Amino acid sequence: MHETFMISAFEGWNDASQAASEVIHYLIGHYESKLVHEINSDGYYDYQATRPMLCHITGRARIIWPHTSFYEIAVSPDQRILVQIAPEPNYHWKDYCREVLHVAQDYDVTHVVTLGSMYAACPHTRPLPVDISNATCACELDREYSGPIGITTVLDQMACNDGMKTTSMWVSIPKYMNTDMCAQGTLELVHGLSTVLGVALDTTDLQSKADAWKMKATAITACDDRLSSYITRLEHEYDLAQRARTIASLGAPQAEQLVKEAEAFLKRMEP
């Protein structure tokens, strides 16, 4: 069955280091795209929290209000997708999501993919973790998580209730690199999107930016002994977790050996 995708990202709480929203900007700039719809800001935003911007265009001042934009993008000769980009609304989330889904239905969307990024304890020297979860009904959403949610979770659940497939995709960003845009996080999400869409998205431009981000992170951490030690610990924990996943199905002896290695490492780290 042919699927029509809508990819959604929101600036703000769901967008650590702008890794998620930059996926949409990258797709709009890299592929043939056209603006097809907008949702005005009135009623959805606190302008003291999400301020309008003053821009000068062709010599004239113009106020740009927070708004939601939808673009149609040709990611391959035979596949077009709808993408949505907006600041996370401050008010009336249910009404807002209903309006978004009305647009999606007008474009015969069958599968909604929401993108997010969050700060976490992960090293920049390893692939940044990406969590991809799929649901076909509202009861399947966030079965293991309890806590605050963003607009992406509300949109996922309401899309499920409307009979759409949903995929939630989140990338983890090193919390010690929380001052810069994270091209590596954007790259990881685009790789995930390639899998979901079944289309090999071009990442040539993103790869060079991700390499530059890694080089900067390495330079920053090299000047801080405490941070370097912290990253060494994160690397070891990451590698242990990877090994655990690899040998989980191999039986008890290998798992027991991994536990011993982990205990020995933690003892060495004790003050």
pLDDT-above-90 percentage for the chain? 72
Residue 247 in 3-state DSSP? helix
The Cα–Cα gap between 182 and 16 comes to: 8
The Cα–Cα gap between 51 and 126 comes to: 36
In a domain, 210, yes or no: no
- One-character DSSP codes across 185-199: HHHHHHHHHHHHHTS
Based on the fold, state whether residues 115 and 186 are members of the same structural domain.
Answer: yes
In a domain, 211, yes or no: no
Which one is predicted more confidently, 139 or 57?
A: 57
Only one residue has tokens 């536990």, namely 259
Report the amino acid identity of residue 119. Y
Q: Are strands 165-174 and 68-76 parallel, antiparallel or unpaired?
A: unpaired
* Integer-rounded Cα radius of gyration of the chain: 21
For residue 110, what are the CA distances in angstroms to 7, 76, 169, 214?
11, 18, 17, 37
The Cα–Cα gap between 264 and 199 comes to: 44
In a domain, 139, yes or no: yes
Structural domain count, the chain: 2
Q: What is the CATH number of the domain that holds 53?
A: 3.40.50.10900
pLDDT of 243 reads 81
Instruction: Among 61-75, 114-128, 191-205, 231-245, name the one with the lowest average pLDDT.
Output: 231-245
- Residue in 180, 196, 177, 179 with CA at minimum distance from that of residue 188: 196
Q: Given pLDDT bands bounded at 50, 70 and 90, which one contains residue 138?
A: very low
- pLDDT of residue 248 exceeding 70, the answer is no
Structural domain for 199, as ranges? 5-203
pTM: 0.86
Based on the fold, state whether residues 246 and 143 are members of the same structural domain.
Answer: no
Instruction: Among 69-83, 87-101, 138-152, 178-192, name the one with the lowest average pLDDT.
Output: 138-152
Instruction: Among 109-113, 160-164, 259-263, name the one with the lowest average pLDDT.
Output: 259-263
pLDDT of 87 reads 96
Beta bridge partners of 71: 35, 83
Q: Given pLDDT bands bounded at 50, 70 and 90, which one contains residue 254?
A: low
For residue range 21-78, what is the model confidence (pLDDT) as tens digits?
A: 999 999 999 999 999 999 988 899 999 999 999 998 788 898 989 999 999 999 999 8
Beta bridge partners of 172: 118
The mean pLDDT value of the chain amounts to 89
In a domain, 152, yes or no: yes
Based on the fold, state whether residues 261 and 130 are members of the same structural domain.
Answer: no
